[in-house]
Amino acid sequence: MAGNPRNGRPYRRLVDWLRAQRLPCWLCGRDIGYDLDPRHPLSFTLDHLEPVSKRPDLLLAKENARAAHRRCNSSRGNRTTTQPKTAPQRASRRW
Ligand SMILES: [Zn+2]
């Protein structure tokens, strides 16, 4: 399990740099609970403008880093996690 760049020092420094700015969530625009437990849905996470899966070279780029709620971050992208398909399919109702 070695070699995950997110565990490296430069990444931690990027997270600290972003957290120190106390920015609102770039996805929903609301304040982030910077003092909340990291597992809280409204706590701070570092999100990437360009997903790291597409642009791994931007993992540590400040211009690619955005502050986001844990909730918003995980609902936005990371489809690698298993999510039940609960969305109602209303799209094809026009005919
Ligand atoms: Zn948010």
3-class secondary structure, 58: helix
Q: How far is the CA of 67 from the centre of ligand 1 (A)?
A: 9
Is residue 17 predicted with pLDDT exceeding 80? yes
Assess whether pLDDT exceeds 80 at residue 50: yes
Task: Please give the mean pLDDT across all residues of the chain.
Answer: 85
What residue has token string 């997110």?
6
Tell me if 92 is assigned to some domain.
no
CB atoms within 10 A of CB 50: 14
Ligand 1 center–CA 18 separation, angstroms: 15
- How many domains is the chain partitioned into structurally? 1
**Model pLDDT, residue 83:** 44
Number of helices (H), then strands (E), belonging to the chain: the values are 2, 2
Gap from CA of 69 to ligand 1 centroid (Å):
4
The domain in which residue 57 lies consists of 5-76
Compute the distance from residue 86 Cα to the ligand 1 centre, in Å: 21
Average pLDDT over residues 30-36: 97
Residue 29 to residues 20, 23, 67, 72, Cα–Cα distance (Å) = 17, 9, 10, 10
Residue type, 54: K
85 within some domain: no
Give 66 Cα–ligand 1 centroid separation in angstroms.
11
- 53 — pLDDT class (breaks 50, 70, 90): very high
